[in-house]
Amino acid sequence: MLRGNHAAKIDDKGRLKVPNAFRALIEEQHGSELFVTSLTGEYVRIYPMAVWLAMEEKLSRVPSTHPTRLKFLDRVNYFGQVAELDAQGRVLIHGRVRDSAGMTGEVDVLGQYDSLDVWNHER
């Protein structure tokens, strides 16, 4: 379970150094592949790929024309990109979501049970 919060930084290339406590749990339980997105554009949400695939499986059972499903998928896919933890524990926060959420410099990384939220430290 991902819980608590840690301060972190986004470097000049847009990479987040995932705090070691979160990184170890993610890699141990899910591997290094991630889905990086946002629901609102105000923050970044990072799902381990296995968690994201389980969500997609649940969504596949909802009718494809259901308005809530459509809105959710529109948002997460607008901001979403597949990413991977590199050997130094960094993940690229791609430009669209990084710009929308103001992700530069100091950030806060919050455990959200099975995903991580990243907030601009100034917000």
pLDDT at 117: 98
d(CA 103, CA 11): 10
pLDDT at 121: 80
Kindly state the average pLDDT of the residues 95-108. 94
Percent of the chain residues topping a pLDDT of 70? 99
pLDDT at 123 over 80: no
Kindly give, in sequence order, each residue whose CB lies less than 8 Å from that of residue 78, ignoring residues fewer than 6 positions away.
Answer: 96
The 10s digit of each residue's pLDDT in 16-46 is: 999 999 999 999 999 999 999 999 999 999 9
Q: Which domains does the chain have, with CATH numbers?
A: 5-120 (3.40.1550.20)
pLDDT at 98 over 80: yes
Strands 5-10 and 105-111: antiparallel
